[in-house]
Structures are given as structure tokens and as C-alpha cells.
Amino acid sequence: MSLPFILDITIGLIFIYLILSLLASEIQELITTVLQWRAVHLKKSIEVLIAGDVTKSEDDSVINLVNDLYNHPLLKSVNQEAKGFLTTLPRKLVWFLSSLPVRFSLSGEKRTKSIFGYTQDEKGNINDDQIKHSAPSYIPGETFATTLLDTLGIPILVQKLTESRFINFKDEQLHEIQSILLKFHNQVNNIDDHVTKFSVEIHQEFTVIIEQSFAKIVEDFQNNKTDLVTSMSRMAQSLDRYIEVFQSDIPEDEFAIKTLQRLRFCRQDLFDNIEQTISLKGLRPNINEVVQLINIGSDVHQGFVNEFQDQNSEAYKTFQYFSEKLQDFRQKLPQSVVTNMAMLAKRAQTKAKTTEEGIYILQREIENTFDKSMDRAAGVYRRNAKGVALLIGFGIAIIANADAFHIASRLSKDSSVRIAIVNNAGQIVQQNTNNPSGDLELLKKQTEQVLADVALPIGWTTINLEQQIDWNLGKKNHFSFWKSLTMIFGWFVSGIAISMGAPFWFDLLGKVVNVRNAGKPPASSSKDQDGK
């Protein structure tokens, strides 16, 4: 048996498995599309990521949180559902088929007819129109991280905590300045009418210049018109104006001069280095502190509660809103989310210099964690897809009667079939020389043309059955039992081969065809020898 003969049989086998693999790929892609396996696998992988454990991924809190993520506008924009009657009609069949595995699963009732979640109306009811029938098959890590932070309300928590502390800071400074002015008034009261009058007037100026100005500054900060540093600078300017007014009308009095000095010391201590004051007063909370606050009962949370004791203060009202949000988050969030977020926030805080930078780094940490988790999920999906590919391969091998041993035997004995397949395989490889990865759509068209011209040694024809199992209706025993076992084993081998995928067989076909062509002597050289 010569090497070219063996290569021809090999090329024939590879080419047949390439054709059957293309069919298997088409079937698997159809099943994947109808049952939305990629989108389902992605959502379940996110649930496992959120839960931190496969066994806890079916908890209500986990499913509800992931549903909230999928209802976020950012993730909604990733998924585009068909609109219109004619475009939606065929998809309704797809939606019905894809919902069947969920309905018959143990978690079907919990997921309310759809694994992709749902939206509730104002009364909390769920209508068919509010059940989500599809979801994205791919979510960028950046989109997921932004959506998770926004759903958890981390930016809002940071803003509200900063507002609470800034209002508290304002009240403390107003109280300190008032204490200085009150001490001055008590010292000069009933001693000198001129100085007493000045103390009364300067306190009125305090209300106009300082109190009203500070209230406006806090209001602008709450409305996001200014940032924290700008607001602190405006407070310093207001205090400077008040000190100028105080100095311009100050009487020749020892207590007045000492009061002016105290005001200057207060201004210098608080506003000469604004960043230092912000840091020392904790006005700009770090990201680790914000995330730790979600953990109700922690030392960080208790310290936060102790900051706001005056229930009549403006800061306490903002604190109440903040505290209620924390309670709401804590009830909804799975413990795994709180724990994981705390770990990521602590890691982010070591790299961050400001709260804004901390949020950005935390977002990157979440993004990296998501990408790594999705890499593992993709590996699981590929393994599952490989199992499905094996089942499809076995099914095609049986339905097409693709017996590996019979195919090899036919190719070795039937030269016309072998030559036709080898020639067509060579043409396909040559046509795809500029497409080394193999365009599956182009390969499908080319192989369809081959199937129209060449009768492959597969199928349940009488000739094939006679050669495979000695099939004969005229015999007492219609077929050979032992040869039937060989045929079944041949199906098994073909099923594994088909599951390898069309790209694998196309690449292998190109290599074998090149080896075969390299082994042939060039036609020109033989002509030259004949001429001599």
C-alpha cells in the first residue's frame, strides 16, 4: 500500500467529516439560538459571581439583585429585541421554546416564567408584557461594573455621606464663631455702651454674612453646582469678608481686639490648608469606608451613627435618609456581595488618593473580577458545548449511517469515489488558501456543490447495509450480529470525529492536501525527462 494511496483515503475521511461537522455546527447553532444558551449561561454565571457560590446562586436575594442589574438602562441598551408584528412573530415561538426549560426546572416558579427576570408595575404586579424574553449574550466588563455600582447606589452613598459631614462641619463652624462672638458680648455687656452696641451689630452681620452664606454654599453643593474644595474656598471667602467688616468698625477695646484675633485663628486653622481640613474632618470619605457602612453593625457603621447625635440639626435629616438607604441596601443585598465588595474596596483604597479615584479603582477591580469570572464561565460553556457537540455528532453518525470503518473500506475499494472526493477536497483547499481560518459560510456553499456531484459512502442504502452487516432479506438471519457491533463502534468513532468541529477538520485537510501535493513530482519535470 503506497503512501499516496493512504493519503487519498485520509483526505477522503477528513473531507467527509468536514461536511458532517458543518452540519453539526449548523444544528448546534440553531439549538443555541432557539434556547438562548449563551444568554442563559451568562446570566447564571453572573448569579454565581454575585452569590460567590453555586449552591447559593438560587437564593431569592441573588436572583432579585441580578434581575435589578438586567433592568438597568445600561444593560438594557446592550440587548436589542425585535420590534413590530412580522419581526416579533417568529421570535414568539423562540421565546416559548426557550421558556420551557425554565418552566420545568426547580427554579421556574422563582424565576416567574423567564430566567431573564421581569419588571413590576407601580402596584407590584407582573404582566406578560413585563416578562423579559431575551437578554444579552455578552456584557462588557466595564458596563457590568458601572451597572453594579449604580445599582448598589455607591455614588449616591458617597454623595450623601459627604453632604451629611459637610453640613455637620458647617454647623460646627457656625457654633464656634457664635461662641467667640457670644463670649465677646458677655465680656463687654453693661461696661461700655459703644462697645456693647458694636457687639450687637457685629452679631447681626454674622447672620447676614456667615450664616446665610454658609447655607447657600451647602445648598449649591447638594445640588452638585460646586465640588467640596470650591465650597470650602467659598466658606473661607465669607469668613474673610466678615473679618474685614469686624476689623473696619472695631472699637478701641481689648476684648474686641482679642475677639478679632480668635476669628483670624479660626480662619487660619480651618481654611489655610483646605485639603488638610477635608482629610482631618473626614469630609471626603474613602471608598472602603463607604462600602463598610453597608455592613450594618460594623465598627465603621457604629462610628458613623455616633457622628450625628443632634436630631434637630440639618445634618441629622440627611443622615436619616442615608441610614434608611443603608438599611434598604442591607436587606436586599446578599451577604456575599457585602463581603466581596468590602474586599475589593479595601484593595481599591490602598491605590486611591481621593474618593473619586477610589470609586474609579473599585470599578476597575469589579471589572477585572467580572472578566476573570467570565473567562472561567466561558470554559464551562465550552465544556458543556463540547458535550452537546458529542451528542449531536453521535446523532448525525447514526442518522447518516456514518460508519468510520465502512467509509474507510469504501474509499479504499472504490477508486472513482475516492478520486472524486480527493479532487474536490483539493479544489476547496486551493480556493481557501487566502482564508486559513476557514470561512464556514463559504465552506458550506462549496461542500453543498460537492454533495450534488459526489455520492458519499454514507447513508442507509441497501448497498451500504450489504457491505456493512451482510444485510439480506432472503436469509434466515437478515444481518450479521458481529458486523453490527463493528458498525455501532464505527458510529461511535464518527460521532467523536464529527464533534471535533469543522475548523479542526478544515485545518487538518489543508495540511494533508499540502503533504500529498508535495509528494507528487511536478508534471514539467517528467516532460523534460521524456524529451531527453
User: What pLDDT score does 188 carry?
Assistant: 80
Taking 80 as the threshold, does the pLDDT of residue 104 lie above it?
A: no
Which of these, 41, 60, 46, lies nearest to 107 by C-alpha position? 60
pLDDT tier, 263 (very low <50, low <70, confident <90, very high otherwise): very high
Closest CA to 154 of 341, 368, 373: 341
Query: What's the pTM value of the predicted model, to 2 decimals?
Result: 0.70
Mean pLDDT score of the chain: 78
Q: What is the pLDDT of residues 422-459, one digit of tens each?
A: 887 777 777 766 554 445 666 666 666 666 566 778 88
* Partners of residue 131 on adjacent β-strands: 118
Using CA atoms of 347, 349, 351, 356 in order, give the dihedral in degrees to the nearest 10: 130
Q: Which three cell numbers stand for residue 411?
A: 474509499
- Backbone dihedral region for residue 501 (phi beyond 0: left; psi -120 to 50: alpha; all else: beta): left
pLDDT at residue 496 greater than cutoff 90: yes
The CATH architecture assigned to 154-281 reads Up-down Bundle (1.20)
- Amino acid identity at 494: S
C-alpha count within 13 angstroms, C-beta hemisphere, residue 14: 23
Rg (CA), the chain: 39
At residue 475, the pLDDT reads 63
Cα–Cα distance between 329 and 327 in angstroms, integer?
5
- Give yes or no for residue 492 having a pLDDT over 90: yes
Looking at residue 94, what is its pLDDT? 60
The pLDDT value given to residue 495: 93
The residues, any chain, with a CB within 8 Å of residue 374's CB and separated by 6 or more, are: 42, 45, 141
How far is Cα 181 from Cα 239, in angstroms, rounded to an integer?
Answer: 13
Give the confidence band of 530 by pLDDT, cuts at 50, 70, 90: very low
Residue spans per domain, the chain: 3-27+392-520, 31-150, 154-281
Going from the C-alpha of 182 to that of each of 192, 261, 358, the distances in angstroms are 16, 15, 42
Please compute the mean of the pLDDT values over residues 99-103 and round it to a whole number: 58
pLDDT digits (tens, 9 = 90+) for 279-298: 888 888 777 777 766 666 66
For residue 112, with 0-12 CB atoms within 10 Å meaning exposed, 13-18 middle and 19 or more buried, which class applies? Answer: middle
User: Residue 391's CB: how many other CB atoms inside 10 A?
Assistant: 13
pLDDT band (50, 70, 90) for residue 529: very low
> d(Cα 336, Cα 467) in Å, to the nearest integer?
63
CB 191 within 8 A of CB 368: no
Print burial letters for 155-185: b (CB count within 10 Å at least 16), e (below 16).
Answer: eebbbbbbbbbbbbbbbebeeebeebbeebb
* Distance separating alpha carbons of residues 7 and 493, to the nearest angstrom: 19
Nearest CA among 220, 208, 204, 210 for reference residue 240: 210
95: pLDDT strictly greater than 80: no
Residue labelled with grid coordinates 456514518: 402
**Residue 30 parent element (H or E):** helix 3-35
